[in-house]
Amino acid sequence: MSTTRRDFIRFVVAGSITAGCPIDLSLLAVGSEPVQVDGDHYLVCHQIRDGHRFAHPPATRKYDVVIVGGGVSGLTSAYLLRDEDFLLLEKEPHWGGNSYEEEYNGALYSTGGAFVDGEESAINLSKEIGLPQLPVDNWDGSIINGEFVPDTWGDGLDHLPYPQHTRDSFKRFRESMLAIDLEKREVELDSVPLRKFLEGYAPEVKQWWDTFGPSNWGAASEETAAGLVVDVVQTTAGANRKDRRTTWPGGLGAISKRLSEVLHLHQDRMLLNAETVAVVPQKHGVNVTFSRNGKLETVAAKGVIMATPKFITARIVEGMPQTQRTAISQIHYIPYPVVNLIYDRPVFNLGYDTWCPGNIFTDITVADWVVRNQSGYKQKYNILTCYTPMRREERSTLLTEDGCRRVAGKVLRDFQKLSPNNNVDPVEVRIYRRGHPMYMALPGNYKHVLPVARQPMERIFFANTDSEGPVSTTAGGIDAAHRAVKEYTVGTNATLHTT
């Protein structure tokens, strides 16, 4: 595609590398260097990272519990505590965190979380809040050498457009994964990298998992805990396989949106654009200082639930034990933009989630897949969500709008090269950038690191999906909320009201 042609396509950049940091610089404590704030406000977040301290004004209000972070985990915590005197603080101008939906002329699409994989906590919660789940019912295909192959790890392995010996290698790998007793070897398989299990197979097998891993759990085969792949192969290619996945148009953003709607009655206790800068244990409670509308405010609480990612949590919570800080420093996060290609005609509708090894993006989902067969539905826009996980050393590319546009441009270029049918111009290309949204499922993370990172402090409790594992999921965020709320009630002797 020529540069001139691309210039006619509208590129929209949203989100920010630190997920926004709307802080008035004048609030910074004395002694900070003057900095220039640009559209993404990341400089101030980096100042927090670098240890700047904020003033802590005296507490002006009291709550039973303050929840910090309005992603799905914080929203679920608020939902479980809806009859209590809670305050929910979210720094972005919208709820949802990494599960956030957007729309184009009424057509919903995802900027992050895609589907629930049969996890009961997510299914039960969505039922309870009146959001019927819609089945995906489509095994993932792959596009290899320009050819779409349905059901990659099922019948697809017989049809991969590779030489016979490469296809055989894929099949041998599948058989060896199916033969492993995962339950018996769970702890061992959490601590060894997948690389060891790929030795002796065709490089294309490794390439396939180096595509799948970063998209699903932030790590390629060198750094992936092997048990995850054993589990995926057994679930997708085992004798009793069943596609358990469900979603909605807009992906898992639908669940956060619905939670925020259900909590509408309590909106005076749910603050957007409220960035927490300090959580400080007191003798009989905890003080939380946050910035909103250019002002710092402190509130007092009996307990606090931190539903923020741990790399932020560790910088805001004072008095955290060193062992917990050390564990948190071992959790690594990848930069992960998501590019949505918006077409006003059908361009690609062959499968829900399609893997594309060898491209800048790893996989594509079709935004309206689960409603496409509903009677009366007509696809107005074919919106393709291209997952584009990046390596940690590439994070700075997302700091500038120009860097983001380059990434989005490469996604479009690679998509158009996949097949001649794709060589159509979209009406718009949107990139949603996030600097640290997904923790990596590194060997040892699940069994050894996360249990220490989530240890409750006396009156401070830890939610967020990065408390749970083995991989970053919306269900993990929901599970973490249930556990943190329970710990809060026990830790503060709270008696919950029920409606």
Q: How far is the CB of 208 from ligand FAD (least distance, A)?
A: 18
Instruction: Give me the sign of the Cα torsion angle 299, 301, 306, 312.
Output: positive
Site map (CB under 6 A) of ligand FAD, residues 269-288, x = contact: ------xx------------
CB of 437 to ligand FAD, least distance (A): 4
Residue 115 interacts with ligand FAD (CB under 6 A)?
yes
Q: Angle at CA 72, nearest 5°, toward 70 and 77?
A: 75
Residues 417-476 that bind ligand FAD (CB under 6 A): 434, 437-438, 464-465, 472-476
The Cα–Cα gap between 490 and 499 comes to 20
Cα-atom radius of gyration of the chain, to the nearest Å? 23
Smallest separation, CB 419 to ligand FAD (Å): 24
Stretch 45-74 residues interacting with ligand FAD (CB under 6 A): 68-74
Q: How far is the CB of 330 from ligand FAD (least distance, A)?
A: 18
Residue 22 as a binder of ligand FAD (CB under 6 A): the answer is no
* Nearer to ligand FAD among residue 99 and residue 133 (C-beta): 99
Q: In degrees to the nearest 10, what's the CA dihedral of 186, 219, 357, 174?
A: -10
Nearer to ligand FAD among residue 92 and residue 102 (C-beta):
92
**In the complex, what is the shortest distance from the CB of residue 1 to ligand FAD, in angstroms, rounded to a whole number?**
25
42 binds ligand FAD (CB under 6 A): no
**Which of these ranges, 176-184, 303-311, 422-430, 487-495, lies near ligand FAD under the rule CB under 6 A?**
303-311
Nearest approach, Cβ of residue 391 and ligand FAD (Å): 15
Residue with Cβ nearer ligand FAD (116 or 180) = 116
Position 298 contacts ligand FAD (CB under 6 A) = no
Quick check: 17 binds ligand FAD (CB under 6 A)?
no
**214 contacts ligand FAD (rule: CB under 6 A):** no
Alpha carbon separation from 213 to 81, 182, 188, 209, 361 (Å, rounded): 35, 18, 19, 6, 12
Total number of residues that touch ligand FAD (CB under 6 A): 42
Chain residues binding ligand FAD by CB under 6 A are 19, 68-74, 89-92, 97-99, 112-116, 252, 275-276, 307-309, 312, 316, 336, 338, 387, 434, 437-438, 464-465, 472-477
